[in-house]
Amino acid sequence: MSSRRGSSTVLLPSGQTLTTFTKHSQDEEGLPHATKKTMADHLRKYEALFNLTPQRMRMVVEAFKESLELGLSKPNQVVPMIPTYVFGWPSSKEKGNYLAVDLGGTNLRVCLVTLEGEGKFQITQAKYRLTEEQKQDEGQKLFDFCGECLKAFVDTHRAEGHIGKDEVLPLGFTFSYPCAQERIDHGVLIRWTKGFGAPNTEGHDVVAMFRESLAKMSVPAEVVALTCDTTGTLIASHYVNPKTRIACIFGTGCNAAYMEHVRDIPKIAQLGIDPDMEMAINCEWGAFDSFEHENLPRTKYDQIIDETSNKPGEQAFEKLISGRYLGEILRLIICELIDEGVLFLGQNTYKLEIPYCFDTAFLSLMEMDPTDELLMIIGIFNHFFAVETTLAERQFFRALAKLVARRAARLSACGIAAIVSKMGYLDEGCSVGADGSLYNKYPNFAERIHEGLHDIFGEKGKNIVTYHAEDGSGIGSAIVAAMTKDRKTANIYPNL
Ligand code: GLC
């Protein structure tokens, strides 16, 4: 009998290419692996654990709404609902040259943005990868690194004539971690998220730390505004699509921002801001249900992730959704089945036992595998973890990836629904600008969010549409800096 062979090549997150080829699955009969029936039995168990019924989702939405309200009413609540001092929407008349620095979960990005008005702009940027050591190293060193990269970038653009010789450019600093702000160019880091742990930063004003680094290196830039990626995304998306009301990030972390009436932010009443004005709120919703864990459907795998993280108890919602954790959830399930003797009997599985070795991008590749034999999945397990798989196992892994990612998308829908319902956007409908690797790269993530919104709201759920947002941390941050300059020039709350 002749054996069939198929092959498939893919570009991996690491930049390597992976070509997989295999014989027909008949060749697998000799392997002492789990059968199709056992795998189907196990799958049913996980389906029950990860499934979210519409009814359960509505309960989450109600609890979520209460947390949002509480965060607006009093300081230091679980969901911090941070007033950003970004007053209202951009006018689309914002113009000029701005620098934007974005300290994200994975990269540092520095940008030169030229706002040309009417939703038009130009951007030039450079990206620097952050190492795991930098994320844990002394905080001031992290800001020094930002300063050094910015200096090199500005020097290059000066030499090329894009920045004037004596020009000091206004700068928007995107720092996407929860910061308590007293004004727009100030922010005390409440806690690190997304695995960062740099000491001597929590409890400190990160703008002051960044300014110190800029001064040390004589960088000709003036920090005008501190923003979060979500606030930047909200503003940038509205700049090009004025129907935008909410912005979300589904990436290494998960968060949302929206525009609130000042009269509905009781905790800043003492500032005496005109109650009819609007202000963007950075929800930091990743913290929803932290510590008490009363509302979210956590499985034992979620609990393990939480307990073994550098921040146990914190970011409960984010830990069920964001790209930093989904791969780890799947890995923990696989390890459980290895321990029970269901998977990979007789094979050396040490490579799978390393925490966080199973990248969320693998789940995405597994779901995208177009071949009947699931060649991509063979490649992943072979190449990265040195184990052989049967077709039944591969189908099981793919189904598991779908369960984990679908739950993440449906929980994301709960967060969006909470804001929509709180703000009364359902009848009129609204656009939600969304960004981040999960949203942009994970197959069907957006469709699953929309399906979730439909399950929560029925037909009206279709009025809420997510779309791929404008670059919040570059363009958005520059627009926020421009809005702030214009506001201060017009003497509107110049101290905020
Ligand atoms: C984390 C951060 C938040 C950020 C989000 C997405 O939740 O705390 O500030 O917006 O990740 O990057």
Tokens 């290419």, located at residue: 17
Among 255, 324, 471, name the best residue to mutate to test ligand 1's pocket (greatest count of ligand atoms within 8 A of Cβ).
Answer: 255
Instruction: Give the tens place of pLDDT for each residue, 243-277.
Output: 999 999 999 999 999 999 999 999 999 999 999 99
Task: Please compute Rg for the chain using Cα positions.
Answer: 24
CA of 202 to the centre of ligand 1 (A): 15
Distance between CA atoms of residues 11 and 14, nearest Å: 8
pLDDT at residue 31 greater than cutoff 90: no
Q: Please indicate whether residue 318, judged by its CB atom, sits closer than 6 Å to ligand 1.
A: yes
pLDDT at residue 165 greater than cutoff 90: no
CA angle at 65 for the pair 62 and 71, rounded to the nearest 5° = 145
Among 130, 190, 194, name the best residue to mutate to test ligand 1's pocket (greatest count of ligand atoms within 8 A of Cβ).
Answer: 194
Distance between CA atoms of residues 87 and 234, nearest Å: 12
Q: Please indicate whether residue 255, judged by its CB atom, sits closer than 6 Å to ligand 1.
A: yes
**Cα of 172 vs its chain's centroid, Å:** 20
Indicate if 191 belongs to the active site.
yes
pLDDT of residue 35: 72
- Crossing angle of the two packed helices 391-423 and 54-73, in degrees rounded to 10: 50
Report the run of H or E that residue 404 belongs to, with start and end.
Answer: helix 391-423
The size of the chain, in residues, is 496
Instruction: Give the tens place of pLDDT for each residue, 41-93.
Output: 999 999 999 999 999 999 999 999 999 999 999 999 999 999 999 999 999 88
Q: Give the predicted TM-score (pTM) of the model.
A: 0.92
Q: Please indicate whether residue 176, judged by its CB atom, sits closer than 6 Å to ligand 1.
A: yes
Closest by CA to 282, choosing from 196, 438, 434, 176, is 176
> Which residue has the CA at smallest separation from atom 8 of ligand 1?
177
Distance between CA atoms of residues 286 and 321, nearest Å: 9
Closest by CA to 163, choosing from 241, 215, 224, 99, is 99
pLDDT of residue 26: 42
Indicate if 158 belongs to the active site.
no
Among 78, 82, 284, name the best residue to mutate to test ligand 1's pocket (greatest count of ligand atoms within 8 A of Cβ).
Answer: 284
Tokens 């999945």, located at residue: 377
pLDDT of residue 18: 55
How many other C-beta atoms are found inside a 10 Å radius of the C-beta of residue 447? 11
DSSP string covering 329-360:
HHHHHHHHHHHTT-SSTTS--GGGGSTT-S-H
Q: Please indicate whether residue 258, judged by its CB atom, sits closer than 6 Å to ligand 1.
A: no
Instruction: Give the tens place of pLDDT for each residue, 310-342.
Output: 999 999 999 999 999 999 999 999 999 999 999
**What is the β-pairing status of strands 464-468 and 430-435?**
parallel
> Which residue has the CA at smallest separation from atom 6 of ligand 1?
253
